[in-house]
Amino acid sequence: MEHRGVTVWFTGLSGSGKSTIARALEARLREMGTKLEVLDGDIVRTNLTKGLGFSKEDRDENIRRIGFVSHLLTRNGVIVLVSAISPYRAVRDEVRDRIDDFVEVFAHAPLEVCEERDVKGLYKKARSGEIANFTGISDPYEEPLNPEVVCETHKSTVDECVDQILSKLEEKGYLPAGVLA
C-alpha cells in the first residue's frame, strides 16, 4: 500500500497504555501492508540505549537516540511506532522538530488508574522506595500541550484508541484517503 513515512510517538505514564495501543495499531497497519517498525522503550533500553539510567540527562539521551533512529526510518518511508514514557516536553519537541513527520499520541489515564493497573508491579516498588525516580511518583511527567491525539485509556477501549490514531494518520495524508472506509 502507498503511504508516507511518519513517527507515531506515544508518551504517557507507565501503565497508561502506550505499548498496548501500539501493539494493536501495529496489527492493523500490518494488515494494510504498510512498511512498519516498532520501537518499544522497554526493549530499546536493552540494546540501543543500554546502560542509560533514569536521571533527567539519561532519559533525555534515551529519547534523543530513539528519535535519531526514528528519523532515519521515517525519511525512508517507514511508519515508526515509538512507545516511551518520554516525560520531558522539551526533548519530545526537539525530536518532533527534527523528524517533521511526527504524530504525538498522549496515552492518558489518571495516575490512580495507572497505579491500580500496576501492569509490571513497578508502582508498588516505587511507593515502597525500592525504585527511585519513578515517573509520576518520585519523578516529573510533563504532559504534552498540543498532542495530535489524546487517548483517554480509562474511558475508551483499545480499539477506539487505535481508530482515533488511524483517522489522524489518514487526515494528515500519511495513509491514503478512504483506506479506513
Q: Total residues contacting ligand ADP (rule CB under 6 A)?
A: 18
Provide the minimum distance between the beta carbon of 102 and ligand ADP in the complex, in angstroms, as a whole number.
19
Confirm or reject binding of residue 144 to ligand ADP (CB under 6 A): no
Give the position of cell 540501543: 48
Nearer to ligand ADP, 91 or 161 (CB): 161
* Residue among 2, 21, 3, 1 at smallest CA distance from 11: 21
Q: Residue 156 interacts with ligand ADP (CB under 6 A)?
A: yes
CA nearest to 114, candidates 154, 150, 149: 154
Q: Which residues does the annotation mark as catalytic?
A: 86
Instruction: Quote the least distance from Cβ 146 to ligand ADP, whole Å.
Output: 20
The 79-83 sheet, strands edge to edge: 36-40, 79-83, 6-11, 102-108, 149-152
Residues that bind ligand ADP (CB under 6 A): 12, 14-21, 83, 107, 117, 119, 153, 156-158, 161
